[in-house]
Amino acid sequence: MTNTANQSTKFSFGLFLAIILSLICHCAQATKLDGAPLPHESDRASKDFSTGQEAAPELSRFKRRPDYREEEAQKKADADKAAKDAEIAKQKAIEASQKARQEQIENYKRSIQEAVDANNEGVQLGRQGKWEQGIQAHEKAIQLDPSNKQFRINLSAARCAFGQQRLAGGDYSSAAYLFRKALTAAPDNALAGKMLLEALRKSGINPSSADARLGVGDQLAAAGDLEGAAIEYQAAMQLEDSGRTYVKMGDMSCRYGQMTTAMAWYRQAIAKDPDCGPAHRQLGLIQLSQKDTTGAAASLRKALILDPKDSVAGETLVEIWRKQVAANPTFSENYLGLAGALQLTGDFVGAESAYNQVQTIDPKNAGLAAGRASLARAYQHTNAEKHKLATDTLFNQGLKREALAEISQAVMLEPRNASYQFLLAECLEANGDYKGAHQAYLTCVLIDPANNKEAAARMARMQMGAGNAGNVANTNQFAGNYPNNNYRPANPPPTSYAQVGGQGWSSGTASSGMLNSTPPAPAKDTYEAGPGSNTAMNSPSSPIRTHDEAANRGGRPSALPTPPQIDAGSLAKVEEAESSHDYKNALDMLKQLSSNDMNNSDIHHRIAVDLMASGDISEAISEFRIASALTPGRKDYAEDLARALSIHKRSLMSASGTGGDAVSTEKSETTNGANP
């Protein structure tokens, strides 16, 4: 039984073993095993296990995320590498810089040596009389070494010597050109400056005339010789320290692109001459280029008021306001500004259209009525100017009656225009109406005493019978025509004149007559936009003036402000200034009072006294004449005028050294001084 069981077990084991073997054989025949061989003991010799690390088989296709220790180690390694790279780059940059600097030094030394060689060559050529080649060599030396002053001196000397050669040969134009170039290289070359004057003189140009030097400068600038033009403008500025010469210097700075310097020149020109229109225009153009639209509009407006024919200023100002209107077409103040600009350029139709736009947008605009009133006055002034031009033409043709008719029309339109009154007086005098001419001259002086000395002189000659003795028998015949003839001061005159050895003047006390005079009716202020309006790019503090501003120049009618009441306080301040011998302030205050009351003879007399005290005899005589003309019955005024004329006569005699001969005009005035 036991044997049977063992046999059965052996059979089963053998069968199992046979099945396994058959399966193995079948697999070996069906699939070829091409995988890597299993590690073998012989491979251990090629392995390096000294580091203690052994690559583990990858059990997953996903990489393990490094921990913080590995990240910190990596960051440190990267930082060390970056620092090392930066140090290497720094060293390379230092080496490159040192190399470039060394090359620069070598190039500079080479350039300096070349400049010295060129300068020496120029000197040798100059000694040989080869000035053109020598000048070229000196110019090359300066180009290589611009900071060397000696090279510039040598160049200036070479140009000056060449210019002298041309001058001796009769080529004055080339000689003047070379002398200017010499001054450009070395402005302190006195010989070049002297020879330039000689060259200009031989060319028929007066080198001592600022107008002539400005004209030459303009020609050179037009020809593109800016350096020569600058030399001529500088010479003109030395001859005439005026606004127009400063404008020329500013123009030169503009040509060189030096706008800041140009603005400084233009502002100096305005400070020297506030009525210099080109300075205002050029300043406005620069402000516009710098996006200062408000300042540009103000400057261009002023330039146009001073010179209505300045087309550049007018076109630019109109363009500024057109852009403002285009940017904000519903803002009425922009149309007011445009209307004012058009009015100043003479486009009255366009101005009226702009005012209509204001009426449509904002009928209650505060500046609308004033603007339209200004436009009406501009129309009126244009008509008056037509009559004036007709008067000039007819008068020059000898048609005196027709000229008188035309100027009378102009005076009717603008009675406070001093130039119209002066022309009316001339026409009346030419037609034999001496009484009317005297009145017109007097009106002219009363309107603008400072700028109508010729009218005062003619009026004085008429009063004294100079040239018209047969027609003017007695100056008292004019008394009925004085506008202030009925005025008499309640007290003695405010000042009394006393001659102390022909030197001294003493002031008296104030008179209440000043307070009783009636000032002329003030004219209305007129401007493009009234007070409180946003003008000039929303600048309410500066209303846009139009015709009345322009009227203050060239004899046009001036709008007088409402005069303040003259009180005792004002007179007390005048007396205080006079007592401390501060005649400048006293005169300023008196002239202000006079501008508010031009018909007050007491004020004019007191101004004359203070002028005498300050040594201005000529101006004092003019004021004495006005005071005597306003109040011809005042004997003391006539006596003061006579004394002033006598002092003036003696001063003229002393200055001329004649000792006994007097100027004929002054002699006539002194003889008749008791009855001016």
Which among 623, 308, 315 has a CA at the least distance from the CA of 445?
623
Which among 294, 375, 381, 292 has a CA at the least distance from the CA of 336?
375
- Predicted confidence at residue 566, as pLDDT, reads 55
Q: How far apart are CA 384 and CA 401, in angstroms?
A: 18
Q: How far apart are CA 510 and CA 575, in angstroms?
A: 8
Q: How far apart are CA 485 and CA 478, in angstroms?
A: 10
The arithmetic mean of pLDDT across residues 372-398, rounded, is: 90
Q: Which residue has the tokens 């060599």?
A: 137
Asked, for residue 240, whether it belongs to a domain, the answer is no
Q: How far apart are CA 403 and CA 418, in angstroms?
A: 17
Helix segments in 31-148, DSSP class H: 68-127, 131-144
Residues 6+ apart with CB under 8 A from 209: 239
Say if residue 561's pLDDT is above 50.
no
- Predicted confidence at residue 509, as pLDDT, reads 31
pLDDT tens digits, one per residue of 287-324: 999 999 999 999 999 999 999 899 999 999 999 999 99
Say if residue 346's pLDDT is above 50.
yes
Whether 406 and 448 have beta carbons less than 8 Å apart is answered as: no
pLDDT tens digits, one per residue of 79-134: 999 999 999 999 989 988 888 888 888 888 888 898 899 999 999 998 998 999 99
Q: How far apart are CA 482 and CA 473, in angstroms?
A: 18
Which among 596, 589, 606 has a CA at the least distance from the CA of 509?
606
* Cβ count within 10 A of residue 67: 8
- Predicted confidence at residue 183, as pLDDT, reads 93
Asked, for residue 603, whether it belongs to a domain, the answer is yes
Domain limits for position 510: 493-516+567-676
Q: Which neighbouring-strand residues pair with 500?
A: 504
Quick one: three-class SS letters along 117-175? Answer: HHHHHHHHHHHCCCHHHHHHHHHHHHHHCCCCHHHHHHHHHHHHHHHHHHHHCCCHHHH
258: left (phi over 0), alpha (psi -120 to 50) or beta: beta
| Residue 298 half-sphere exposure toward CB, CA atoms < 13 A | 14
Single-letter code of the amino acid located at 494: P
253-262, 322-331, 473-482, range with the lowest pLDDT: 473-482
Phi, psi of 504 (to 5 degrees): -95, 155
Question: 139 or 581: whose pLDDT is higher?
Answer: 139
Say if residue 521's pLDDT is above 50.
no
Single-letter code of the amino acid located at 612: M
Binned at pLDDT 50, 70 and 90, residue 254 comes out as: very high
The arithmetic mean of pLDDT across residues 128-150, rounded, is: 91
Look up residue 506 and give its DSSP letter: -
Q: How far apart are CA 545 and CA 274, in angstroms?
A: 16
Whether 524 and 545 have beta carbons less than 8 Å apart is answered as: no
Asked, for residue 617, whether it belongs to a domain, the answer is yes
* SS3 (DSSP) at 597: coil
The arithmetic mean of pLDDT across residues 493-511, rounded, is: 32
Asked, for residue 672, whether it belongs to a domain, the answer is yes
443 token code pair: 């009106």
- Predicted confidence at residue 59, as pLDDT, reads 57
Question: 585 or 120: whose pLDDT is higher?
Answer: 120
Say if residue 378's pLDDT is above 70.
yes
Distances (CA, A) of 659 to 508, 650, 651: 34, 9, 10
Asked, for residue 4, whether it belongs to a domain, the answer is no
Binned at pLDDT 50, 70 and 90, residue 9 comes out as: confident
Strand ranges in 299-369 using DSSP code E only, listed in sequence order: none
Single-letter code of the amino acid located at 76: K
Look up residue 661 and give its DSSP letter: -
What's the CA angle centered on 383, arms 528 and 279, to 5 degrees?
A: 50
487: left (phi over 0), alpha (psi -120 to 50) or beta: beta
Question: 573 or 540: whose pLDDT is higher?
Answer: 573
Q: How far apart are CA 150 and CA 449, in angstroms?
A: 58
Q: How far apart are CA 29 and CA 39, in angstroms?
A: 24
- Predicted confidence at residue 5, as pLDDT, reads 63
Binned at pLDDT 50, 70 and 90, residue 438 comes out as: confident
- Predicted confidence at residue 56, as pLDDT, reads 57
The arithmetic mean of pLDDT across residues 322-344, rounded, is: 92
Question: 453 or 191: whose pLDDT is higher?
Answer: 191
572 token code pair: 């007390």
Q: How far apart are CA 282 and CA 401, in angstroms?
A: 45
Say if residue 559's pLDDT is above 80.
no
Which among 256, 224, 222, 220 has a CA at the least distance from the CA of 235?
220
Q: Which residue has the tokens 């005792």?
A: 568
What's the CA angle centered on 204, arms 202 and 208, to 5 degrees?
A: 90
Residues 6+ apart with CB under 8 A from 425: 436, 437, 438, 440, 441, 444, 455, 458
The arithmetic mean of pLDDT across residues 315-341, rounded, is: 92
Say if residue 42's pLDDT is above 50.
yes
Question: 34 or 117: whose pLDDT is higher?
Answer: 117
pLDDT tens digits, one per residue of 399-412: 888 899 999 999 99
Which among 55, 56, 75 has a CA at the least distance from the CA of 66?
75
159-168, 289-298, 648-657, range with the lowest pLDDT: 648-657
Say if residue 534's pLDDT is above 60.
no
431 token code pair: 């037609």
Which among 554, 50, 652, 108 has a CA at the least distance from the CA of 309?
554
- Predicted confidence at residue 514, as pLDDT, reads 30
Task: State in Å, rounded, how far the first CA of the chain is from the last one.
Answer: 187
Structural domain count of the chain: 1
Asked, for residue 44, whether it belongs to a domain, the answer is no
628 token code pair: 């005597």
- Predicted confidence at residue 601, as pLDDT, reads 80
What's the CA angle centered on 372, arms 370 and 375, to 5 degrees?
A: 110
Question: 403 or 496: whose pLDDT is higher?
Answer: 403
265 token code pair: 């020149």
Percent of the chain at pLDDT > 70 equals: 73
Q: Is the pTM of this model over 0.95?
A: no
Q: How far apart are CA 536 and CA 294, in angstroms?
A: 6
- Predicted confidence at residue 205, as pLDDT, reads 92
Distances (CA, A) of 199 to 108, 135, 208: 40, 20, 13
Binned at pLDDT 50, 70 and 90, residue 586 comes out as: confident
pLDDT tens digits, one per residue of 206-252: 999 999 999 999 999 999 999 999 999 999 999 998 999 999 999 99
- Helices 293-306, 311-327: axis angle to 10 degrees equals 140
For the chain, the average pLDDT equals 76
- Predicted confidence at residue 51, as pLDDT, reads 56
Asked, for residue 676, whether it belongs to a domain, the answer is yes
Helix (H) or strand (E) holding 571: helix 568-579
Q: How far apart are CA 147 and CA 122, in angstroms?
A: 18
- Predicted confidence at residue 29, as pLDDT, reads 57
Which among 335, 333, 328 has a CA at the least distance from the CA of 366?
333
Q: Which residue has the tokens 């200062």?
A: 292
Binned at pLDDT 50, 70 and 90, residue 60 comes out as: low
The CATH number of the domain holding residue 586 is 1.25.40.10
Say if residue 17's pLDDT is above 90.
no
Asked, for residue 151, whether it belongs to a domain, the answer is no
Query: Alpha-carbon Rg of the chain, whole angstroms?
Result: 49
